[in-house]
A and B are shown apart, each in its own frame.
Chain A
């Protein structure tokens, strides 16, 4: 009796559905439904198959593992006079660059672009920024604090660090592969690259971008998301 009731109800629903959708028979509906499911599968599979970002630097095969180039340990002072180390960035994705506050050539453009990155990751607990000054003699903690405040950014999200000149230059060149040299003949007194480096949670370089070019920074913003997706547990 109840089976009949169910059967009747099913027939009513199908009939009503058919009336509403004209020629849509049950068979057609099922076919459409299956196709939709297949499409969703395809889309999700394709999305998942996005190729991972490259890993920059030298690599060494040790036994069954590949050891990649990583950013060395560091210890600097940020705009709040807080000590910032590699531990601050542990298990985080971050973007690093090298600049100085009195720079008039490429740094203003880099800061404009880095501000775009800051705005996009402001509410993302996974991503941080790290700007190193290559003129620590002039860029004191106080000056960096004033600079960061004038940009309107939070120090917990974007650390502006200073420290020993040699340590900064060394990490720039050997860890981040970014040029940073004092040169009195240059207009601002320094040769430095406008590169933004994208670092993953394992301290490996996953991307290098020209911080003076808007479309390269667009690529960086997209790559940050790709990197986050890579880290998603499968």
Chain B
């Protein structure tokens, strides 16, 4: 190869290298932005799953189907979809009295979990609302805190 060609090759390689770096640098930046928001969702989801298995699955089952007319389902539940704020309050304070889920009446008292932090509630909610056939995206701690401050004034949609 003569010097001109070597030179040309060198230029080509340099351009290639520079453009690759630019592309890589830029894509890494956008990737890390998406990555961090999806990582937060994943973290909430995984933590929420652990909390769910520990506190909720014995009644509501690991697949969210509930048990007969004793414990309502969390998968394909109209109550869950239509009463988001109420559900957040139930996680903390429990629930007494009759509720209608998919047209069926449930009346077993659910104990509350007052020791759960707002973050833990957000995590469990993120897990439940994004499992099985449910899809909602991440539930933020700030939203949970806001809702928990107005639990007494909520009305339920059947």
Q: Which residues in A have some Cβ–Cβ distance to B below 8 Å?
A: 102, 104-106, 108-109, 111-112, 115, 146-147, 149-152
Contact = CB atoms under 8 A, between A and B. Distances in A.
Contacts of A115: 67-68
Nearest to B106: A150
Nearest to A110: B58
Interface string B28-70: 0000000000000000000000000000001101000001111
A105 B55 CA distance: 9
A109 B68 CA distance: 13
A150 B58 contact: no
Given A104-B59, A105-B58, A106-B58, A111 B67 contact: yes
Contacts of A111: 67, 70
A108 B107 CA distance: 15
Given A112-B61, A150-B69, 8 more contacts: A104-B111, A108-B58, A109-B58, A111-B70, A115-B67, A115-B68, A146-B107, A149-B69
Query: What's the interface size class on B, roughly?
Result: 10 to 19
Contacts of B67: 108, 111-112, 115, 151
Nearest to B105: A150
A151 B58 contact: no
A147 B70 contact: yes
B68 A152 contact: yes
Nearest to B67: A112
Contacts of A150: 68-70, 108
Q: Which of A106, A109, A112, A152 counts the most B-chain CB atoms under 10 A from its CB?
A: A112
B69 A108 contact: no
A160 B125 CA distance: 35
A-B pairs, top 3 by smallest CB distance, nearest first, are: A150-B69, A108-B59, A151-B68
B71 interface: yes
Nearest to B69: A150
B69 to A, nearest CB: 4
Nearest to B111: A104
A14 B67 CA distance: 63
Contacts of A108: 58-59, 67, 70-71
Interface string B73-114: 000000000000000000000000000000000011101000
Contacts of B58: 104-106, 108-109
B93 to A, nearest CB: 15
Contact of B70 (A105, A106, A109, A151): A151
Contacts of A112: 61, 67
Nearest to A109: B58
Nearest to A147: B70
A152 B69 contact: yes
A60 B68 CA distance: 45
